[in-house]
Structure 1
Amino acid sequence: MDQKRHIVHIDLDSFFVSVERKFNPALIGKPVLIGGSAERGVVASCSYEARKFGIHSAMPMKQAMKLCPEAIIVRGTHGRYSDASREVTEIIHDAVPLYQKTSVDEFYIDLTGMDRFYDCFKMACDLRQRVIRETGLPISFGMASGKTVAKMATNAAKPNGQLWIKHGEELKFLAPLPISKIPGLGESTSQKLYQYGIEKIGDLQRTNIKFLETVFGKMGIFLWEKAHGIDHNEIVPHSDRKSISTERTFDINVNDHRTLESILVSMTEELSSKLRRENKLASCLAIKIRYANFETHTQQQKIALTAAEHILLPGIKNLLKKAWNQHRPIRLIGVRLSNLASGRYQINLFEDNEERIRLYQAMDNINFKFGDKTICRAAGMDIGTRNFNPFMRG
């Protein structure tokens, strides 16, 4: 007989807003928008008070202010969010045997097997209370037999709540929910389901799997399984891979700043694209330089979790200035992105505008389809990057 799984999904409520409210209690109870400029920025996060007006993350700030003119815009502070996320991660790391961090404010915990010794729901409740007590941040969790139902239970428990969907109760919990509540369900698939009169998850539960497979292909099986609460995805430990890196050894030592910077741009683009493809984020960047006499220097810098080269590149260029004695020619140069966490690239919504977000999505779509470096920044093109494989070493 299969062992009953106990999966907990934890989500910090309106994380960025909650962190800012710790530093400025005057924001409590008011519609708050975290993000870029009112003119061209986008909303990174918004309070529940703002959501009542139809505002959501990634919405243009201009549009959000039309919906709620009295909203307070806060620019956001990367360091604060990284510190708060690290604090919560340390509490979870200290309390549970196996967890996966999927973004700065979201975790999955596997308590399977612990029910022989402990009450798993009480463990999760105690952990939630400890996070609230020690960080002052509101947090919600859902517990279920798999990741998908646990995440949906968290969403149902928000704000600042908890919900346990017991084994055997998955269908009953899911049935009345709209299909839009299924994580990972795209807009076009939803629209197609609506055309067949499938609006609630209960409608999906009653739909023949063969019909779904005929209409949607493999996605049909995915839909049927999600509707029935079937999810065998494992919890991937937070530290499954620590870093990715690339380096290049020169045939002739290089002493030209422009050439070195162009190579670093190209390397960083390759690595950040690889991170996004693998759904990883980095919170530390480093460069390595080796002089002609084999003397080697490294310089590193902590950053907020990201996989965006427009955030990484200024840091990398700055590290080159710090690490390199410009009078000495370089034999080898390398880039390393480390302290990786699982999670989709969260566009830097504090600084990104709509154009940049669309540009990123277009670049990734082209490169994922036709291969790395099909499209890249001009700065990375003039160094013959196609003549070496950046992933061969490091």
Structure 2
Amino acid sequence: MNADRQIIHMDQDAFFVSVEVRKDPRLVGKPVIIGSLSDRGVVTSASYEARKFGVHSAMPAKLARMLCPHGIWIRGNMDEYSKASHEITAILKERVPLIEKASIDEHYIDMTGMDKHFGTLQYSKELRAAVIRETGLPISFGLSVNKTVSKMATNECKPNGELSVEQPGVKPFLDPLSIKKIPGLGEKTFLKLSDMGIKRIHHLTQVSPEYMTSILGKNGIWLLQKAKGIDESPVIPYQEQKSIGTQSTFKNDSIDLESINYLLTSMVMELAFELRQKHRQCACITVTVRYSTREDVTRQASIPYTALDSVLIKKAKELFKQVYQKRILIRLIGVRLSNLVTGYEQIDLYSESEEQYSLCQAMDKIRRRFGPDSIKLASGINLNL
């Protein structure tokens, strides 16, 4: 492990709630819950005051109301949260050499080598102060030798905190923590290890690689390295974040708009399913049309972070209408989703009903079992192209 790495992890504090508090300061210090009040709704975010009562994201709204009956419920606005996210990213990109946008509310920054010019810890403090000053939103940071330890440092100092863990202090910092604090460790693995008496990171580091492999496969080695503070994963430049896309060339040039719309719907659903499988969301959609003249016309739109079929299909069809020129045959159509970030758990529940969210979950379950083409919306079938 390169002990000379200097990785900052910056994470907004209860991000969605913070944006609402910025808009309405009367919410400061109140148990605010973002989500839908309906029995089928879920909690998307909760203030630290609400968390004291056991409320957390992804919790059913019905349970959250029982735990915190005096909570202040806000349905939320994903468009506002996306804009605030872009604000923060812009501020950081202006000031650092290498930044990765890991999710809608967190960033990794690689400052390796920059400590020759100024102290990285001091600069981290200045970055945090700049975000707070220019956005009015609280943010915390962890600074350490890699992405795993810096993220865990941030989680330990939130809310509104900062923590530096240098190489000699990595093991003393990690050892006493619960294994549940390891990023990426799922609930099933946590319960399995806990039942085996492995509850602290120190206990986990004592387990042999062979035994970890026998009980968890390749993930066992990955988890063991995390527990030991080993993580060589690089900070991936934000501007190089991968997009996903698909395109279809017609057997015969066509102007059959009904069939083209069927195809467009099917393509978007395929990409949205891929997003959700990777626990990603996108903030940009692009539609390309190639005419029989071989001319390509492209339209692009920024959208609130989402991975919902219905949102993406609607926007794709709007963009197609913008590029389509009547009476000209179409040879190819393509769709691309970009500006990807991690965080399907923060799916846009604000402009869509819980029924749409439940529909996505049910369809995805069928696809995972029987294949991606096993189920489609009626508007995405009967293709004649």
| RMSD of aligned Cα (Å) | 2.5
Structure 1: runs of 5 or more not aligned:
386-394
Deviations along 1:41-60, one digit per CA (max 9) or x if unpaired, are 21111111111111111112
Distance 1:355 1:194, change over 3 A: farther
Matched, 1:28 2:28: yes
- How far apart, in 2, do the equivalents of 1:363 and 1:145 lie? 41
Aligned residue runs from structure 1 range 53-202, under 5 A: 53-202=53-202
- How far apart, in 1, do the equivalents of 2:194 and 2:368 lie? 30
- How far apart, in 2, do the equivalents of 1:164 and 1:366 lie? 45
Does the 8 A contact of 1:242 with 1:338 survive in 2?
A: no
Distance 1:194 1:354, change over 3 A: farther
Does the 8 A contact of 2:9 with 2:142 survive in 1?
A: yes
Aligned length: 384
> Quick check: 53-62 or 283-292, which moved more?
283-292
Distance 1:268 1:148, change over 3 A: same
Q: Which residue of structure 1 aligns with residue 342 of structure 2?
A: 343
- How far apart, in 2, do the equivalents of 1:209 and 1:22 lie? 48
Report the CA distance between 1:357 and its aligned residue.
4.8
Report the CA distance between 1:288 and its aligned residue.
2.9
Q: Which residue of structure 1 aligns with residue 220 of structure 2?
A: 220
Report the CA distance between 1:116 and its aligned residue.
2.0
Q: Which residue of structure 2 aligns with residue 299 of structure 1?
A: 299
Report the CA distance between 1:134 and its aligned residue.
0.6
Q: Which residue of structure 2 aligns with residue 390 of structure 1?
A: none
Does the 8 A contact of 2:248 with 2:334 survive in 1?
A: no
Q: Which residue of structure 1 aligns with residue 380 of structure 2?
A: 380
Does the 8 A contact of 1:176 with 1:201 survive in 2?
A: yes
Q: Which residue of structure 1 aligns with residue 254 of structure 2?
A: 254
Deviations along 1:214-266, one digit per CA (max 9) or x if unpaired, are 33222222222121111111111112246443333334443333212111011
Query: Which letter maps to 2:190?
Result: S
- How far apart, in 1, do the equivalents of 2:41 and 2:2 lie? 50
Query: Which letter maps to 1:307?
Result: A
Report the CA distance between 1:108 and its aligned residue.
0.7
Does the 8 A contact of 2:33 with 2:73 survive in 1?
A: yes
> Quick check: 167-176 or 363-372, which moved more?
363-372
> Quick check: 51-60 or 363-372, which moved more?
363-372
- How far apart, in 1, do the equivalents of 2:384 and 2:372 lie? 14
Query: Which letter maps to 2:85?
Result: S
> Quick check: 282-291 or 293-302, which moved more?
293-302
- How far apart, in 2, do the equivalents of 1:216 and 1:299 lie? 46
The residue matched to 2:102 in structure 1 has which SS?
A: strand
- How far apart, in 2, do the equivalents of 1:37 and 1:323 lie? 40
Report the CA distance between 1:317 and its aligned residue.
2.2
Aligned residue runs from structure 1 range 3-14, under 5 A: 4-14=4-14
Does the 8 A contact of 1:139 with 1:161 survive in 2?
A: yes
User: TM-score if structure 1 supplies the norm length?
Assistant: 0.88
- How far apart, in 1, do the equivalents of 2:171 and 2:242 lie? 38
Structure 2: runs of 5 or more not aligned:
none
Does the 8 A contact of 1:42 with 1:350 survive in 2?
A: no
